[in-house]
A and B are shown apart, each in its own frame.
Chain A
């Protein structure tokens, strides 16, 4: 294992231990309730970036994959009374399949067609769920949390730890992809797809792999929503917020490196919790829109890019 690799895994282990310690020490449930949401966006932003950042294909319909995951979990609960682990796996499978199908349909076309198609998938899927009585239709469905609170004292703490695990897994997957031949191929696709294709890079296959993994991770992040909210309706499961934030977070954080979306999600997710709760969710969206434009215009490499530039300058000034 390389030195950077060892550093990553030590860091990942530290994060998990820290989270575990927090559940033992902190008494106020709110922290875990809010932390769950922030971490869910870490997973979503990381997943979005696998296709959007590495390959340059913009997904406008993250909500389709999150919603698919949530409703896959609901079906797993209603039809099979499945435990949370099975719900997440099933949700990842279904959403991954959805990603694969969407990719197969549109990834041969120019990028914007893929973007528009993802919006279309979100709306069509929501319409089907609205008209599907088994999962509650448009009025929604009540999901009872298991009475057993498990090892961690409360169910919310348990869900929080699950999301910590998913976040670390997502970052690890993104990082592994990034430094592998797949990541190199995807970057070639982003920089010049025609050139990559003519050099023998299997562009379509790479894009399909990225789209499937990205979709599966989004589905996995959506699955615990069923028991987290305990009341699910299509309008919230397919909320536009997912699509907007999953796109804005990596662009602000930086799309070239796996840490960009993580940073963007932690920053934006926390801001979102504070501003939505204290001022208004509209203002929150306005801030997102403005930040999006400021960053694509002024700092296309995001916060990570700015930091690197600053570090390089400092290193340059420091050496004789």
Chain B
């Protein structure tokens, strides 16, 4: 049994390990979709270079941690934070619109630097308030695991999987079926036409950016449920979130789920086969490959 971790041959043991890796990867993959769906809206649909999205995610995790110290369940804390994040997102978009979109510089160097600055301030703010040590939350479902078939599954992963799936699925439905959701997708396709229909595109975009930001509250709560976080986590999630969005193809909501699964499973397999020192390069490597071979993504417009 001791050799199981190091053996990479084709025997039954390593096949079992591979199966474990795939199942765990699927759970993580759904979580990756949940952390990326907001970016899929802000960057994919609205074309806003929101590089501060991963930093917002961490802000969600730390907010959950703070509320958790008052005894609040992490997932409940994530839900409570969502309206605050929603308002913050609306304000952020309003600022971005006034400063850059009105000048016609929505995708220029200034707007990228702006969001980069926002990310930097969030990251440093977190370091100054909480320090660089890892922070974790407590809940009944963190720490124990169940066995399905022969595969041991940490319950926190299963919880994150279920919540992520419901959450991502709900958002996809919202964007596909409701009037506002359809307007958001319309603004991505043709702003002028939307104006002619009597809808203010800026208001719709502001609403959509608010939603995109609100997702990071719950996704951040899921993140700290899955693993303890520190402020430097931000960098890792630049790779993961952008990898998922680009792989899915900007604007493809359903694709986000599939792309998340692909990333989750690939990372998990690399982790099992080659160890943790290679795993962090998977998302960035995959991102480079997609940019080189198929920049429009799997399901791109």
Q: List 27 A-B contacts (CB under 8 A).
A: A56-B109, A58-B112, A60-B116, A105-B288, A105-B291, A106-B292, A112-B107, A112-B112, A115-B49, A116-B238, A116-B242, A117-B291, A119-B238, A120-B284, A120-B288, A123-B239, A124-B281, A124-B284, A131-B278, A282-B124, A282-B127, A283-B128, A292-B113, A293-B117, A296-B99, A296-B110, A296-B111
Neighbouring B residues of A123 by C-beta, 8 Å: 235, 239, 280-281, 284
* 8 pairs of A and B residues whose beta carbons are closest in the complex: A289-B120, A127-B281, A120-B284, A292-B117, A289-B121, A293-B117, A296-B110, A286-B124
- Chain A residues with CB under 8 Å of chain B are 52-53, 56-58, 60, 105-106, 108-113, 115-117, 119-121, 123-124, 127-128, 130-131, 138, 190, 240, 244, 247-248, 251, 255, 282-283, 285-286, 288-290, 292-293, 296-297, 300
Query: Are A296 and B292 in touch, CB under 8 angstroms?
Result: no
Query: Are B110 and A288 in touch, CB under 8 angstroms?
Result: no
Instruction: Find the A residue at minimum CB distance from B245.
Output: A116
Shortest distance between the CB of A129 and any CB in chain B (Å): 11
Neighbouring B residues of A282 by C-beta, 8 Å: 124, 127-128
Neighbouring A residues of B287 by C-beta, 8 Å: 116-117, 120
19 additional A-B pairs beyond A111-B109, A131-B278, beta carbons within 8 Å, are A58-B113, A106-B291, A112-B43, A116-B51, A119-B235, A119-B284, A120-B239, A120-B285, A120-B287, A123-B280, A124-B284, A127-B277, A127-B280, A244-B120, A248-B113, A286-B125, A289-B124, A296-B111, A296-B114
Instruction: Find the B residue at minimum CB distance from A110.
Output: B107
> Please, how many angstroms separate the alpha-carbon atoms of A295 and B1 in the complex?
60
Neighbouring A residues of B117 by C-beta, 8 Å: 289-290, 292-293, 296
Q: How large is the interface on B (under 10, 10 to 19, 20 to 34, 35 or more residues)?
A: 35 or more
Neighbouring B residues of A247 by C-beta, 8 Å: 113, 116
> Please, how many angstroms separate the alpha-carbon atoms of A285 and B242 in the complex?
24
B24 located at the interface, meaning its Cβ lies under 8 Å from any Cβ of chain A in the complex: no
Interface positions, chain B 98-126, Cβ under 8 Å from A, are: 99, 107-114, 116-118, 120-121, 123-125
Using A124-B281, A130-B277, A289-B117 as known contacts, say yes or no to A111 and B107 having CB atoms under 8 A apart.
yes
Neighbouring A residues of B49 by C-beta, 8 Å: 112, 115
Neighbouring A residues of B238 by C-beta, 8 Å: 116, 119
> Please, how many angstroms separate the alpha-carbon atoms of A124 and B285 in the complex?
6
Neighbouring A residues of B51 by C-beta, 8 Å: 60, 112, 115-116
Neighbouring B residues of A128 by C-beta, 8 Å: 281
B181 located at the interface, meaning its Cβ lies under 8 Å from any Cβ of chain A in the complex: no
B169 located at the interface, meaning its Cβ lies under 8 Å from any Cβ of chain A in the complex: no
> Please, how many angstroms separate the alpha-carbon atoms of A138 and B275 in the complex?
14
- Chain B residues with CB under 8 Å of chain A are 43, 49, 51, 99, 107-114, 116-118, 120-121, 123-125, 127-128, 235, 238-239, 242, 246, 277-278, 280-281, 284-285, 287-288, 291-292, 295
Neighbouring B residues of A286 by C-beta, 8 Å: 120-121, 124-125, 128
Shortest distance between the CB of A93 and any CB in chain B (Å): 22
Query: Are A288 and B120 in touch, CB under 8 angstroms?
Result: yes
Neighbouring B residues of A117 by C-beta, 8 Å: 287-288, 291
Neighbouring A residues of B121 by C-beta, 8 Å: 286, 289-290, 293
Neighbouring A residues of B127 by C-beta, 8 Å: 282
> Please, how many angstroms separate the alpha-carbon atoms of A124 and B125 in the complex?
27
Query: Are B128 and A127 in touch, CB under 8 angstroms?
Result: no
> Please, how many angstroms separate the alpha-carbon atoms of A289 and B107 in the complex?
19
Using A119-B239, A120-B288, A293-B114 as known contacts, say yes or no to A285 and B124 having CB atoms under 8 A apart.
yes
Neighbouring B residues of A300 by C-beta, 8 Å: 110
Query: Are B109 and A255 in touch, CB under 8 angstroms?
Result: yes
Shortest distance between the CB of B128 and any CB in chain A (Å): 5
> Please, how many angstroms separate the alpha-carbon atoms of A46 and B99 in the complex?
26
Neighbouring B residues of A105 by C-beta, 8 Å: 288, 291-292
